[in-house]
């Protein structure tokens, strides 16, 4: 049997973005509260009863959050430009070595209703 477990976190960050629509506001430094959720899919370990120890997953998510929270996303190494799509990819790449592997990463801005989901083959 395959199980899917997930964990959420949030971070506050600022960024700029060059785009054709809503250009003036996007090019100024502005911030958002971002929410993220990761899903891991795998078999339950019969010895532990878990797919992954959620404490281990939370520790790894704290490491990712530390790279993003209260930072100017434009300056985060490996994240250019700071779009929702690139944030999904950034998080997925930071957690690529987790076992079991990631199945999905979602990043959203609740206040704006914007979201992006990255579906992964694990």
Number of domains observed in the structure of the chain: 1
For residues 98 and 116, what is the distance between their CA atoms, to the nearest angstrom?
21
Q: Average the pLDDT over 13-32 and give the result.
A: 82
CATH number for the domain including 74?
3.30.479.10
For residues 66 and 64, what is the distance between their CA atoms, to the nearest angstrom?
5
| Contact yes or no for 87/116 (Cβ under 8 A) | yes
Domain that holds residue 8: 3-119
At residue 101, the pLDDT reads 92
Number of Cβ atoms within 10 Å of the Cβ of 17:
16
For residues 92 and 79, what is the distance between their CA atoms, to the nearest angstrom?
12
**pTM for the full predicted model:** 0.93
pLDDT tens digits, one per residue of 73-84: 999 999 989 999
């Amino acid at each position: 049997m395959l199980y899917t477990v997930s964990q959420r976190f949030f971070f506050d960050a600022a960024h700029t973005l060059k785009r054709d629509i809503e250009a003036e506001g996007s090019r100024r430094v502005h911030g958002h509260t971002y929410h993220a959720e990761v899903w891991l899919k795998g078999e339950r370990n019969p010895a532990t009863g878990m797919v992954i120890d959620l404490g281990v997953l939370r520790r790894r998510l704290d490491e990712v959050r530390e790279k993003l929270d209260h930072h100017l996303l434009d300056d985060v190494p490996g994240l250019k430009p700071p779009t929702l799509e690139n944030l999904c990819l950034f998080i997925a790449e930071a957690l690529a070595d987790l076992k079991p592997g990631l199945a999905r990463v979602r990043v959203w801005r609740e206040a704006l209703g914007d979201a992006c989901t990255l579906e992964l083959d694990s």
